[in-house]
Structure 1
């Protein structure tokens, strides 16, 4: 763009500059709640933790799952009930307006004494703690969980070499991970998940309780009683608990209605009372009741365990459509009223924060990420296009609101209607980073290769950043580990050592690279280091599986899963049926591929450098070696449709996939899958990795997802897409999510021509059978202005990784990384 051309702004940028006013009427309530959210502090609340602890103290000799159900009952009966003055959908875990987060001492207990008031001032995701809650946390909650919480046992159970690789040689350190490999399982109970909301709405909790009672009465085998009876008893208790909780909201709404002087609000409160008296105990009869049922089920899972913060909402357009259609046809509700109810859920979700007390977790979830998603579009279980009126309604409900949750995932397939794709494209152009797009043409065949039926494969939904789940099919909920590909490069070039950590032997001894005489030796050494790290990631995963069952239970999440109810077994245990898919993340994919491509080109092909000269430049972080750095930066780069770089990237993925497939043979019925979803780990992992041969300096971020090294994608969107195609090992069933970010200038998608161009790009992406794509459509100038004046831009929403966040709530490092991403044009 020439210096004389005016800057083209995205709709979001226009709102922030005051150049566009919201033309929608009837959304005042939503905007009032959003404004209150953005102005308020983010609170840490102890109600759930206090009540959970009280119950666990009183039930120590009972089976774990019964203890959990009784704790949920104690919480349901005693947790404060809060209904805000603008609330339409009710049910909170905290007795406060605005954004709040709950504590989970069964996970956080080991961190509470160290966390203390420091959580207010930590650079990543700070929370405010009142003096009263701080006292409760430190004097009532923390002492009981000392040496009783999950992380302490997990870290102690790790083999010494795995533990050292993750936490270092200090046996007292269970807090700060070293960033060479990573485990999220020591600060959350489960991985991203989706429950069967359709079942809860259609059957009601009463029918699930009846099912448990009947199964309990049928048990005759004395050897089955030990496990099945406590499970079914816990289901019955949990069913009673969620109904008690809902009816307390009904009572509170009635009491508020008696005092309310505004007739309109009085009528709303009475309707809330009537609905909460009926659902979730009974089947939902209306759209409003179905939404309230969904929210009660979601929030009760949040009360149940940490990790349920990553509990997504499933295919809402599919399970809500029958209720919407009936209400519209019978004149019970208008489209605008339905949209306002959806917006009420969205604001509720934005208020329900995800607190991770672990210091390692802050950098993992920058921007207060909690990953919930709603899925629309795609295909029906019969293979027909699934788009309906609620698909468009959900799109409209997210339009024009500065809100980052829930994230929205749209399933695209070859027959996605142009009308729907155009509507999706217009939302993308608004510039808030959503919706992200998932490709049925890639994902459904992957599920089929893993043994999932065609009908079930067509019913997948987004869960978390980019990965997916199928309700009643997926059965593995343990959090995943990750390999630092950048660290694997540094270990390769230093015989298993890393500069930041001195002489400690973290990796395998693969020899002095100065003595390597061929690129094949480099690749063999890299493969050895890579698989050494991967072996330890799977080792910690095995320990997680073993230890978790002794510390975690989830009666609410389990009772709405068909297989759990069939086997009378908690979801945290191994189930006989279903898809047991274990993720292993790859972080810094392009960093490793480009580094190895540079070594091949500069040292072995063109012989412009010796290995010693390159290593010497890396040791000094290219200081005084700028000529060598420029050579590295100009070497072949992945994400440009470069055959050499893409071939190396494909080989790195193959190393990973082959090892996972080999290990699959040792655990029948399980699929170990490679996932390339960094969240924000590419920032944290980059901090521990020295300078790399792709020209990256020490401590700088690694490449994220399947995107390019920063600033190195010079061939436009087509080059980036083609490299993703070229590097994919198509024959492996062990592939999972591949995150792909694309940053576009608002000017390149301006007007009708821009819409057509973006639609065409999406169709091309779909035809290429790539897993995922998402867009940041924002001007660099706006991001720089937001760094200088964060108050003015406090509502600026951007895409981070598999989630959107408020830009001003990110660290300076992450802000800079997003700004540095290449801005492409169509």
Structure 2
């Protein structure tokens, strides 16, 4: 293709994407424009208020749960009450759209952190002089050495810290509170006054003879204070809205403001009765949860179509609501979520984590509690909203069951077609199997869903806490160096033998698994320490109000109060380590194409020019995971099975009694892990990202998407909590009804074979390369990164290159 023809094709593709944006009404268009154009800024308000509270000594001598509840109440009494012009839903974490607070009691940003965030080229968080001054003079001095992050690092072993610094793992909770949780039906069926009655009754039932009497009573007191805090916040909003109505000259807007005030006086004090009330009720809960702490991945409304449909059906039947008004309310709700960027990170994570996405996920489809088809009119409304709004957030999840109609899946694929990375697809029948295998009740499994990227959990009933990413290719690198990390020269692993002396592939496999077990032992001990510290120092009484069994047990969400408790670790680099082990098995032990000595030297020299022929043999003459070849696919399956076996043998955590489970997903950690990992036997050079999720190595799957599906489905994902699969399609594959139906059938076949998840980038390589050259002309180009979508030109170049390198499938 000539340059001129290529440019024309790229422009046509981009024009198609822009033309696919659906019309929306004037109010929503204005709110959306304000949201997507606003500069992301750090708000100093929460840091100032929370520091002021703890310095005041108001809570001195109180138990930790009561301290945290009082701090939350102080926040709800003093935070700003922004109301975006024309909005129909109120409540916002921060002082305006795209402002994000910080959480100094969890981890305090240094002046260097603030400078990095403000000045970094990709996705900066602007920090004004007022915020800098507040941090330098008040926040940093007040919290130095006293944050939970400080306490965590003070309590972890030297072995843990060395492995963490080397990039063998990351730790989710060293600067963020437990997240990956979602609301269930409890939210939509209860008001705070109902819950306060539950608390009162439980207090009366407690017996002083109970050895945990004091702790339970303190937690219940904290929950009661937290409930009052949100009642105060809603009342403040009601009063503000009434005042705004008095001053409003436009008759229609005045009516809206009065109605919004009326709603704020009803919810969240009482259970919602209307569609509008249900959205506002949930949103108050959401804002409360993310003001209380900074959960890793924001709180989720869960099965939103299931929760909202009874309100929708009733309101429409009574003539209180039209379909168009319901859509407008949902779009206003969508924009509320987009107005809340992810909390900025600290330290190396501030330099490596590039997204504003806070991972609020809306689940659509699946099954009802009774096992029948869960698709309803609100499901289709949500897909239409997603198609029209096309914002960075919220994320969505289409839950696919054999009981869902084909037109639902086709409708979702039509949304994917224009290519902005949403929605992803999940095997809901498989998710139920996962939940049942973990001991959940059938009804709880059917009302489960996915949060974060691809993580399954029992919504409103489970604390399924993620602990960090685990770098499998790095551990293979250490295995091949007999326990030494060649990047630092330090002995981080155990001596498992000089690979040059291995006579069989099984000897190498055994050495690798011993290293994996060694590092998992260290990581799991650290997980339990961190969990205990959160249970003691960072209770979340407000979140606990909305999660089943916490009030009944009089225990905090972070201390085992939920019905189900799970602890997850996330495996990264399955494709890279599978391809690497396949290379060694094929070329060193079976075909003897190269010796172990030669391969190790090539890795040491980063496949420099004299080793390029060896590298090309590896790249072109090795069976590849993702091409339906049992030789290598069996290795992938063996890795998955072994990791599950090792991890599930660890005893439940001491505080939450959480079972230990495994996920396979990277977010963007595969880029960071690639930077700290040298060349790998699959021909990957040092510094390049390792494979992401359970996807094949970038560019290695050359036999089509069906072959990828067959390879991936040979692994038993029902043993895991989730597995992320990225695929890239050319745009023409989603043009026309017949192509959409073909892809829908292929997805269902993949899920029937045992696949967990798949998501698509529908974009040409040529367009992505052109966007790299002319970023100002492609500001609105959105792509699928990992378990989320983001603006392509905002991503760091390494991540852009990795997305481009993924195989582009041209046929289904």
TM-score category, normalised to shorter length: over 0.9
Query: In structure 1, how many angstroms separate the alpha carbons of the residues matched to 2:763 and 2:347?
Result: 31
Q: Deviations over 1:740-760 (max 9, x none)?
A: 111111112211222122112
Q: Provide Cα deviations, 1:33-79, integer angstroms capped at 9, x if missing partner.
A: 22223332210012112212222232132111111111111111111
| Distance apart, 1:665 and its partner CA | 7.4
The answer (yes or no) to whether the contact 1:200–1:280 under 8 Å persists in 2 is no
1:103 aligns with 102
CA distance 1:538–1:224, change in 2 (3 Å): closer
Q: Specify the alignment match of 2:579 in structure 1.
A: 594
- 1:548-590: per-residue Cα shift (whole Å, max 9, x none)? 2232110111011221111101111134x73222111111111
Q: Structure 1 residues 745 and 729, CA, compared in 2 at 3 Å: closer, same or farther?
A: closer
Aligned to 1:340: 328
Matches within 5 A, 1:540-551: 540-551=526-537
Distance 1:413 1:814 in 2: 33
CA RMSD of aligned residues (A): 2.2
Is residue 248 from structure 1 mapped to residue 236 from structure 2 by the alignment?
A: yes
Shift, 1:542, TM fit:
1.4
Count of residue pairs the alignment pairs up = 804
1:268 aligns with 2:269: no
Cα distance in 2 for residues equivalent to 1:824 and 1:12 = 16
Shift of 1:6: 10
Does residue 311 (structure 1) correspond to residue 299 (structure 2)? The answer is: yes
Residues 309 and 492 of structure 1, relative CA distance in 2, 3 Å threshold: closer
Structure 2 unpaired stretches of 5+ = none
1:23 is displaced (CA, Å) by 5.4
Structure 2 counterpart of 1:171: none
Shift of 1:520: 1.6
Q: Give the TM-score of the pair, scaled to structure 1.
A: 0.94
Report the Cα offset of residue 30 of structure 1: 2.2
Spell out, residue by residue over 1:255-294, the C-alpha distance to the aligned partner (whole angstroms, 9 max, x if none).
2222222222222222211211221112212100110001
Once the two structures are superposed, residues 333-388 of structure 1 have per-residue CA deviations (whole angstroms, 9 ceiling, x without a partner) of 21111111111111111111122332233366422231110011111111100111
Following the alignment from structure 2 to structure 1, what is the Cα–Cα distance between the partners of residues 317 and 638? 56
Residue 482 (structure 2) pairs with residue 482 (structure 1): no
Q: How far apart are the structure 1 equivalents of 2:350 and 2:732?
A: 35
* CA distance in 2 between partners of 1:522 and 1:23 (Å): 55
State which drifts further: 452-461 or 396-405.
Answer: 396-405
Q: Quick one: which of 494, 509, 513 aligns to 1:508?
A: 494
CA spacing shift, 1:466–1:514, aligned 2, 3 Å: same
SS at match of 1:584: strand
Post-superposition offset of 1:14: 3.0
Query: 3-state DSSP class of the match of 1:107?
Result: coil
| Aligned equivalents of 1:438, 1:76: Cα separation in 2 | 37
Assess if the C-alpha contact under 8 Å between 2:342 and 2:355 holds in 1: no
Q: How far did residue 705 of structure 1 move?
A: 0.6
Distance 1:475 1:639 in 2: 34
Q: Do structure 1's residue 580 and structure 2's residue 561 form an aligned pair?
A: no
CA contact (8 A) 1:112 1:357 kept: no
Please show how residues 538-687 of structure 1 align to structure 2 within 5 Å. 538-575=524-561, 578-624=563-609, 625-634=611-620, 635-664=622-651, 670-687=658-675
Q: Does 1:534 align with 2:535?
A: no
Residue 410 of structure 2 aligns with which residue?
422
Query: How far apart, CA to CA, are the structure 1 residues paired with 2:296 and 2:646?
Result: 30
**What residue is the counterpart of 1:453 in the other structure?**
441
Distance in 2 (CA, whole Å) between partners of 1:60 and 1:347 is: 40
Pair 44,360 (structure 1): closer, same or farther in 2 beyond 3 Å: same
| SS of residue paired to 1:376 | strand
Match for residue 763 of structure 2? Answer: 778
Equivalent-residue separation in structure 1 for 2:653 and 2:335 (angstroms): 45
CA contact (8 A) 2:345 2:353 kept: no
C-alpha contact (below 8 Å) 2:172/2:467 kept by paired residues = yes
Q: 1-side partners of 2:114 and 2:741: how far apart?
A: 53
Q: Equivalent of 1:747, from 725, 732, 740?
A: 732
Q: Following the alignment from structure 1 to structure 2, what is the Cα–Cα distance between the partners of residues 445 and 357?
A: 35
Going from structure 1 to structure 2, the CA distance change for 1:12 and 1:190 (only over 3 Å counts) comes to: farther
Deviates more, 1:694-703 or 1:768-777: 768-777
What are the superposed Cα offsets for residues 133-187 of structure 1, whole Å, 9 maximum, x if unpaired? Answer: 22222222221111111111111211221222113xxxxxxxxxx3112211101
Please, which runs of 5 or more residues in structure 1 have no aligned partner? 168-177
Shift of 1:15: 5.6
Residue in structure 2 matched with residue 79 of structure 1 by the alignment: 79
* Match among 26, 29, 33 for residue 27 of structure 2: 29
* CA displacement at 1:319 relative to structure 2: 0.9
Instruction: Determine the structure 2 residue equivalent to 1:53.
Output: 51
Q: Write out per-residue CA displacement over residues 469-500 of structure 1, whole angstroms, 9 at most, x where no aligned residue.
A: 213431344x3122211101211111122332
Alignment of 1:114-133 (within 5 A): 114-122=112-120, 125-133=123-131
Report the Cα distance in structure 2 between the residues aligned to 1:406 and 1:41, rounded to whole angstroms.
18
Flag as ranges the 4+ runs of structure 1 deviating above 6 A. Answer: 1-12, 665-668
**Separation (CA, whole Å) in 1 of partners of 2:10 and 2:554:** 56
Q: Which shows bigger deviation, 736-745 or 258-267? A: 258-267
What per-residue deviation string (whole Å, max 9, x for no partner) do you get for residues 637-667 of structure 1? 1111111111111122222112112224787
> CA 1:599/1:672 → structure 2, altered by over 3 Å: closer, same or farther?
same
Secondary structure in structure 2 of the residue aligned to 1:93: coil
Give me the whole-angstrom Cα distance separating, in 2, the residues matched to 1:466 and 1:301: 21
Which whole-Å deviations, capped at 9, do the CAs of 1:519-561 have from their partners, x for residues lacking one?
A: 1221121112222222222122111122222321101110112
Whether the 8 Å CA contact 2:186–2:547 is kept in 1: the answer is no
Distance 1:23 1:95 in 2: 30
Aligned to 2:697: 709
Contact 1:34/1:402 (8 A) holds in 2:
no
Per the TM alignment, residue 88 of structure 1 is displaced from its structure 2 partner at its CA by 1.1
| Structure 2: distance between partners of 1:245 and 1:665 | 38
Q: Does 1:152 align with 2:140?
A: no
2:388 counterpart (394, 400, 408): 400
> Aligned runs of 1:165-184 on 2, under 5 Å?
165-167=163-165, 178-184=166-172
SS of the residue aligned with 1:599?
helix
Q: Secondary structure at the match of 1:775?
A: strand
Q: Hey, what's the Cα distance between the residues in 1 that align with 2:353 and 2:170?
A: 14
Report the CA distance between 1:7 and its aligned residue.
7.8
Does structure 2 conserve the Cα–Cα contact (< 8 Å) formed by 1:746 and 1:777?
yes
Q: How does 1:731-810 map to 2 (within 5 A)?
A: 733=719, 735-810=720-795
Residues 317 and 376 in structure 1, CA contact (< 8 A), matched pair in contact too: yes
Among 469, 472, 491, the alignment partner of 2:478 is 491
Q: How does 1:158-237 map to 2 (within 5 A)?
A: 158-167=156-165, 178-196=166-184, 198-221=185-208, 223-237=211-225
Tell me: CA distance 1:158–1:425, structure 2 relative to 1, closer, same or farther (3 Å): same
Tell me which moved more, 760-769 or 681-690: 760-769
SS in 2 for 1:776: strand
1:170 corresponding residue in structure 2 = none
Give the secondary structure class of the aligned counterpart of 1:692: coil
User: Aligned pair in 2 of structure 1 residues 450, 463: CA closer, same or farther (>3 Å)?
Assistant: same
CA distance in 2, matches of 1:21, 1:641: 35
Output the CA distance in 2 between the equivalents of 1:263 and 1:436. 42
8 Å contact 1:9–1:747 — kept in the other structure? Answer: no
Q: Closer, same or farther in 2 for the Cα pair 1:392/1:450, shift >3 Å?
A: same
Give distance in 2, aligned partners of 1:65 and 1:299: 19
Greater Cα shift, 624-633 or 118-127: 118-127
Alpha carbons 2:717, 2:723 under 8 Å: kept: no
- For 1:175, the equivalent position in structure 2 comes to none
In 1: Cα distance, 2:115 partner to 2:350 partner? 15
Cα distance, 1:813 vs structure 2? 0.8
